[in-house]
Amino acid sequence: MALILAPFISEGLRQEVKPYNIRSTIISPGAVATELPDSITEPDVAAGIKSFYEKYAIPAESFARIVAFAISQPAEVDVNEILFVLRLSICPPPLYCSNPKYE
């Protein structure tokens, strides 16, 4: 439920704080390669999450570059929302979108 409300809350926040020169951005990265899968203690769930992360997790450095992009924009630019995914997740085999990692 909270994920459904995020764009509406962000837009309300954006309108409220604009006079104070504060910006907000929704970043929807999907799975980001972190230590999260290692913290899951339920064996079945942990195996599923680890498998998913091995296939689809976005490197943390890529996520950091997206955040840097959003906050480095000039004052007259609002980056309202960023959606990004690992290219493998949108390019099924055998294409892999020419990603050397999967050649």
Domain count, the chain: 1
* Closest of 67, 1, 68, 73 to residue 28, by C-alpha: 67
- Give the pTM: 0.67
> Domain range holding 92?
2-102
Domain CATH code at residue 37: 3.40.50.720
pLDDT tens-digit profile, the chain (103 residues):
566 787 888 888 888 988 898 888 888 877 888 888 889 999 999 999 888 888 888 888 988 999 999 999 998 888 888 888 766 555 555 544 555 554 4
**Sign of the Cα pseudo-torsion (54, 85, 79, 81, in order):** negative
